[in-house]
Amino acid sequence: MRSQTAETPTSPARRLMSAIGIDTERLGPAYWGAMQDVERVCPHCPALSRCRTALAAGSAPVQYSTFCPNADVLAEMEAASAGALVGDRA
């Protein structure tokens, strides 16, 4: 399996995860399904243009929760990546 953090994030979902500090290696298998869901839905998101603009401006880490339909799961993954959550994802 290729390292997810060593790759340059190219999809908007990966770019957003990287921008908000989600360490996909630290999350491990408990969050792989959630990461795949986010990546699968992202290209069809009605806020994709706004997301790309925020990523380009560097404001995505502060603004994503105002437009991203995946904001709740991304916030959970961000907390888990930082070590704030213990155990497997429910």
pLDDT score of 9:
58
In order along its 90 residues, the chain shows pLDDT tens digits of 444 444 555 788 999 999 999 988 888 888 989 999 999 988 899 999 999 999 999 999 999 999 999 999 999 999 888 886 544 545
Name the pTM for this structure: 0.77
- CA–CA separation, 3 and 62 (whole Å): 27
Phi, psi torsion values for 44, nearest 5 degrees:
-105, 10
pLDDT score of 3:
43
Going by C-alpha positions, the residue among 33, 29, 8, 30 that lies closest to residue 19 is: 8
* Domain parsing of the chain, residue ranges: 12-81
